[in-house]
Amino acid sequence: MARKKVNLYQFSNKGTQAERIKHALTLLELDGMYGSFEQLAEEGIKNHITLYDFLETLLEKEVVLKEDSRTVRWIQQARFPWQKTLKEFDFAFQPSINQAFIHELASARFVKQGKNVIFLGPPGVGKTHLSIALGIEAISQGYDVRFVLLNDLIDQFLKCDGNIVRVQRLLATLLRPKVLILDDIDYYTMGEDTSEFVFKLVIQRYNNNMSMIFTSNKSFDDWGGLFVQRQRASSAIDRITERAEIVEISGTSYRLKDKVDSKKLKGKSVVVN
C-alpha cells in the first residue's frame, strides 16, 4: 500500500507516551521499530537492560526489516520467471555438477571480479534453476540483477522499430544491473540489427567489468547464429569466455525425474500412522 505524502513532521503531544512514540515511528516510516519497541521496552524494564542494549536491539529490528524489504523489491525488479534457490536444487540427481563450486559462485565473488558464468547442457538439467539461484544470491549480497530470455530481448528490440532513442534506452536498461542473466541464448537466429545490438551489449558489459550469466543447450561452436557474422561471433565469444566460469552439465532432465518419481510412488502403498 502506498504511503501518504508527509507535509509536516511534527511530534504529537496527544495520547499516552507509547502512542506518541508509535506515532513518531509511523511518521518516520520506521516499521521495524514500530512493531518491536513496546515488547522490547517491557523486556528491558523487566530484565534491567541498559539503554544502549535496548536501542541497539531496536535498531537491529529496523535494519532487518529494511533489508528484507530491499531483497523482496530487488527480486521483483529482476523479473525472474519464477524463484528458485540452491536449497531446492537436487545435486544428487545431477552428479556431474561440482556442488562446492556452485556454492563458491553463490558467494557472488565472481560479480566483484567482473566474471561471467556459463551453464551448458541439454534441456531440463537445471541450467535456468541455477542461474536464477545465483541471481538471488547476488541480490542478497547487494548486487542488482536482471533476468532476460533471449526471445523476450529480441521482442523488446524489435518493438523499438529502429528508433535510435528507444534502442539506446533499452541498451541503457540492460547495462544498468550489475548482473545480467541471458537465458536460452541458442534458440534463435537473429537478424543483422538485433545481432549488432546484442554484440554491443556484450562488448559494453565486458568493457565495464559487469557480469553476465548465460544458459545454453549448445556448444560455443553453435553460437554463430546469435551474432550472424563470423568475425562478430568470434569477437563476442572471446570476450564472454575470457573471464568466465563454465559449468557443463550432463545428466537426465528433471522432467524425466518427476515421471520416474511418480511411477515409484504409484508402485508403493502409503501407510498412515
12-60: per-residue pLDDT in tens?
Answer: 888 888 888 888 888 888 888 888 888 888 888 898 988 898 889 888 9
Quote the pLDDT of residue 266.
45
The three cell numbers locating residue 81: 520467471
Quote the pLDDT of residue 2.
53
Residue 6 lies in a domain: no
Specify whether 109 is located in the same domain as 205: yes
Element holding 7 (H helix, E strand): none
Domain span at residue 43? 17-78
The tally of CA atoms less than 13 A away on the side-chain side of residue 55 is 3
Residue 226: count other Cβ atoms within 10 Å of its Cβ: 25
- Tell me the per-residue pLDDT of 92-105, one tens digit each, with 9 for 90 and over: 988 999 999 999 99
pLDDT band at 184 (very low <50, low <70, confident <90, very high): confident
> For the chain, what is the domain count?
2
- Residue 262: pLDDT above 70? no
Specify whether 52 is located in the same domain as 21: yes
- Tell me the per-residue pLDDT of 70-88, one tens digit each, with 9 for 90 and over: 999 999 999 999 999 999 9
Specify whether 29 is located in the same domain as 150: no
Distance between CA atoms of residues 140 and 252, nearest Å: 30
Q: Which residue has the higher pLDDT, 64 or 185?
A: 64
The CATH number of residue 111's host domain is 3.40.50.300
- Residue 272: pLDDT above 60? no
